[in-house]
A and B are shown apart, each in its own frame.
Chain A
Amino acid sequence: MEGHQRNLYLYDRFDTQVVGVSRDDVITLQYWAKDLGITFPLLSNVSGWLGVLYDVQPGDQPFFNRRTMIIDKKGIIRYVRDGSPDYKDILAFLKKLNREEGQP
Chain B
Amino acid sequence: MKTMFIISCFLVVVSLGSVCSAHETAATDNAAQTVPALKPGDKGTAIYDGEYEFMPPPSPWELIRGGEGSDFVFGFYRKDPGKLQLESTFFAFSDEPYGYSKDIEQRADEFLKRFFWSSHVKMKVVDRKKTTVLGAEGLVLVLEGKDAIKGTKVRSKVILGKRGDRVVAFYINQWRASDSKFDQAAFDTFDRFAGSFRFLKKSFYETL
Q: Please list the residues of chain A having a beta carbon within 8 angstroms of any beta carbon in chain B.
A: 1-6, 10-11, 14-24, 28-29, 32, 36-37, 50-51, 54, 56, 63-73, 84-88, 90-92, 94-95, 97-98, 101, 103
Contact = CB atoms under 8 A, between A and B. Distances in A.
A28 B12 contact: yes
A21 B10 CA distance: 6
| Binding site secondary structure of chain A | mixed
Interface of B: 2-16, 18-19, 68-69, 96, 98-100, 110, 114, 166, 204-205, 208
B11 A23 contact: yes
Nearest to B95: A88
A92 B19 CA distance: 22
Contacts of B10: 1, 20-22, 64, 66
A92 B208 CA distance: 7
Given A22-B12, A29-B12, A63-B14, A17 B6 contact: yes
B100 A10 contact: no
Contact of B7 (A1, A6, A69): A69
Contacts of A5: 100
A34 to B, nearest CB: 12
Contact of A85 (B5, B8, B11, B16): B8
Nearest to B13: A24
A32 B8 CA distance: 15
A91 B98 contact: no
A32 B14 CA distance: 12
B6 A72 contact: no
A34 B206 CA distance: 30
Q: Chain B interface secondary structure, helix, strand, loop or mixed?
A: mixed
A19 B100 contact: no
A2 B98 CA distance: 8
A56 B13 CA distance: 16
A54 B12 contact: no
B201 to A, nearest CB: 15
B7 A68 contact: yes
A6 B111 CA distance: 12
Contacts of A20: 7-10
B208 A91 contact: yes
Given A1-B15, A11-B6, A87-B96, 11 more contacts: A6-B100, A17-B5, A19-B7, A20-B8, A21-B9, A23-B11, A65-B9, A66-B11, A66-B15, A85-B8, A91-B208
B99 A68 contact: no
B98 A4 contact: no
Contacts of A28: 12
11 contacts: A6-B96, A10-B205, A21-B8, A22-B9, A29-B12, A36-B16, A68-B6, A70-B7, A84-B18, A91-B208, A95-B208
